[in-house]
């Protein structure tokens, strides 16, 4: 469950319900910090899914939860996916950086940045 160190069940159930509904569907992540285990969210979906992240989704720091896992949040086969809300995705970077082999793997591709801000009112990428 969100808020639980093994988090994901509530998040996954909310996504599945939104994915199976027609029209535009919103999954709201409220204020607060919510632990989220590595998760794969798969479509195709019947309608558009929008994640409104108001709070913070936080990856687990314990390495046991990420053994043989090379992702944190994966969205697959979802057309018209929208991520918004101004919240945070906290991957607990320093706890994972030593395990990152992407710089050594020629098949590792960087995620394109469409829109982002870095703790600044004026500095934006588009």
pTM (predicted TM-score): 0.70
Cα–Cα dist 47/61, whole Å: 34
The pair of three-digit structure tokens given for residue 48, joined into one six-digit string:
């558009």
Q: What is the pLDDT along the chain (126 residues), one digit of tens a residue?
A: 344 544 678 889 999 999 999 999 999 999 999 999 889 999 999 999 999 999 999 988 877 666 777 788 999 999 999 999 999 999 887 766 666 677 777 887 766 555 544 444 444 443
CA nearest 19: which of 51, 52, 40, 46? 46
């Amino acid at each position: 469950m969100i808020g639980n160190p093994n988090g994901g069940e509530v998040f996954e159930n909310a996504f599945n319900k939104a994915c199976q509904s027609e029209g535009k569907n919103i999954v709201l992540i409220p204020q607060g910090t919510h632990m989220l285990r590595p998760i794969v969210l798969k479509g195709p979906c019947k309608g558009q899914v929008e994640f409104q992240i108001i709070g913070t989704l936080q990856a687990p720091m314990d390495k046991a939860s990420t053994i043989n896992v090379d992702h944190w949040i994966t969205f697959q086969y979802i057309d018209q996916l929208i991520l918004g809300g101004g919240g945070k995705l906290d991957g607990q970077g320093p706890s994972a950086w030593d395990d990152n082999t992407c710089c050594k793997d020629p098949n590792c591709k960087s995620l394109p940045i469409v829109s982002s801000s870095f703790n600044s009112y004026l500095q934006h990428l588009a």
